[in-house]
Amino acid sequence: MQIIPVIDIRNGIAVRAVAGQRSRYGPLQGRLTNTAEPAEVLTALRRYFGFSLCYIADLDAIERQQINRCTIAEMACTGVPLIVDAGATTVEQIEALLEIGVRQVVLSSESMHDLTQLAAMAKRFDPVSLIFSIDLRHGELLVRDPGWHGNSPLDLVRYVIACGIRELIVLDLAAVGTGLGIPTLQWCQDIRRLSPDVRIISGGGVDSVSCVAGAARAGLDGLLIASALHDGRLTSDDLAAYLSR
């Protein structure tokens, strides 16, 4: 299982998640660095932990389609491969992110207003450059496309896999930044039984070494962590077994 740090950005700075309530996110503060400048935060994470991948959530792009293009490009220049959720819903937006050095673009149920476009997107781009995010809130599917209202997360998973996407993020936004444990592990295990070969990433609520170990036992390929790294609840020694993989 790969540990993947998360950096949320808004108005060009790194912010700290609070239970997925984005209006409450404030500038990031923690033990790793005294700045909230995103590229510096990423550099500090690499220095302390040796991470080889980072997940970026561009909140301005997700909420208002106002991408922090220069900030993301600067982060890409650090040399750490980036997974970026910038609310992409079109081929042009995907291309723009790849052009500034993003390794993988997130397409999400929260943002995509027309999921019938997903198959065409999967055919146009190298499949490894796209990840689909199954977004939840308190266990319920969070989906923008009105045609999918009322469906279960597994219904959407089947559709996404059929479209040709081979990597999934499963994230309950209400758990993000809470430190109350990962509520999505059962969903991830159900997805693994449904499609043994798909790569599954989850996170939200990671609070301890035992929580990380539980995620590994659940069969995750990647685990997203933010607050616990900056608080010191998880150290490089705690994560050594996962960082060496």
CA distance 91 to 78: 26
Burial class (CB in 10 A: 0-12, 13-18, 19+), 99: exposed
pLDDT tens figures, 132-141:
999 999 999 9
Low-confidence ranges of the chain (pLDDT < 50): 245
pLDDT tens figures, 218-237:
999 999 999 889 888 899 99
CA distance 78 to 42: 8
Burial class (CB in 10 A: 0-12, 13-18, 19+), 167: buried
Task: Please tell me the predicted confidence (pLDDT) of residue 176.
Answer: 83
Task: Please tell me the predicted confidence (pLDDT) of residue 166.
Answer: 95
pLDDT tens figures, 49-65:
999 999 999 999 999 89
Map out the domains of the chain as residue ranges: 2-243
- Please give the single-letter amino acid code of residue 164: G
Q: According to DSSP H, which parts of the chain are helical?
A: 38-49, 59-64, 69-76, 91-99, 118-124, 153-162, 185-194, 209-217, 227-231, 240-243
For the chain, helix, strand, coil in percent to 5 are 40, 20, 40
The CATH class of 2-243 is alpha beta
Claim: this prediction has a pTM higher than 0.85: yes
